Amino acid sequence: MIDKKEIAATYQQIQDEICSGLEKADGAEHFEEELWSREGGGGGRTRILQEGNVIERGGVNFSAVYGKLPENIKKAFKVDENDFFATGVSIVIHPGNPWVPIIHMNIRYFELNEETRWFGGGIDLTPHYVVPEDAVFFHQYLKKICDEFSPAFYQRFKDWADDYFFIKHRNETRGIGGIFYDRLQPEGTGLDYEHIFDFSKALGRSFLPIYTELIAKSKDKVFTAQHKEWQYLRRSRYVEFNLVYDSGTKFGLETNGRIESILMSLPPQARWKYNYQTPRDSEEERTLSWLKKGVDWVGIS
């Protein structure tokens, strides 16, 4: 029988593994760690790598917090319990080269009591320039992981990601999606909590092989000032989503989380241009054409 201490300890180990692997992939800088405590209970380890050879800014954060659940969160979760425990690892990497995509991953566990607890998480890719073969690689990797636990997981969680990572006011997806799930429990999955935890761990440990492959492929690719300008514009979309729609950001702010750790997902630099229009038949226009729900990346040959 797994318990919250075991889950938190495993998530810390995954944080260590990912930080070590990203430092090797970057080849220049190391993560700086800040330990923090939350007023009300718990704390975490914020790790940030900045101005590296590959990573312009990246955060790999662990937290395990507990305390009293705010009334607005209780209403959102439709629960009556007061005490909560939440632990997880959250990652956002903003690369310097526009041909290397932004990546986000989160694995988390939430508990009110033995009867009310669940896992959540996901991983998604936000390329500045969509390269179809990279998108196929990414989605096929995720499907393989999902299929090890349930043949229904990939399509269900892929559709969930398409719906979740959608910038409604722009009518476009944040990137090429991935998988996303929340409140995953034995009911409706055919799995017990131990196997759902195994799925969470497998997802967490998929991060390094996926992202190091994408880094190795594109980190030395030549880019122009136009490519860099587009990268800044795409980063602005990322900011808009995280500040307007992201539930993790909202939960952290509303439960008195640490501001610096919550907002580490924001890029070091982004730009907004009034009424920007992509040049016709450009790489930028082709990228926008892919930013929509329902693309069958696994089925693309």
Map 116-153 to HEC letters. Answer: CEEEEEEEEEECCCCCHHHHHHHHHHHHHHHHCCCCCH
* CA 86 – CA 109 distance, rounded (Å): 6
Buried b / exposed e along 51-79 (16+ C-beta atoms within 10 A): ebebbbbbbbbbbbbbbebeeeebeebee
* CA 108 – CA 88 distance, rounded (Å): 4
CB 42 within 8 A of CB 67: yes
Q: For residue 66, which phi and psi values (nearest 5 degrees)? A: -155, 170
104 is catalytic: yes
* CA 85 – CA 80 distance, rounded (Å): 15
Catalytic hit among 104, 139, 195, 227: 104
Any residues with CB less than 8 A from the CB of 67 and at least 6 apart, and which? 38, 40, 41, 42, 83, 84, 255
Q: Which residues are catalytic?
A: 104
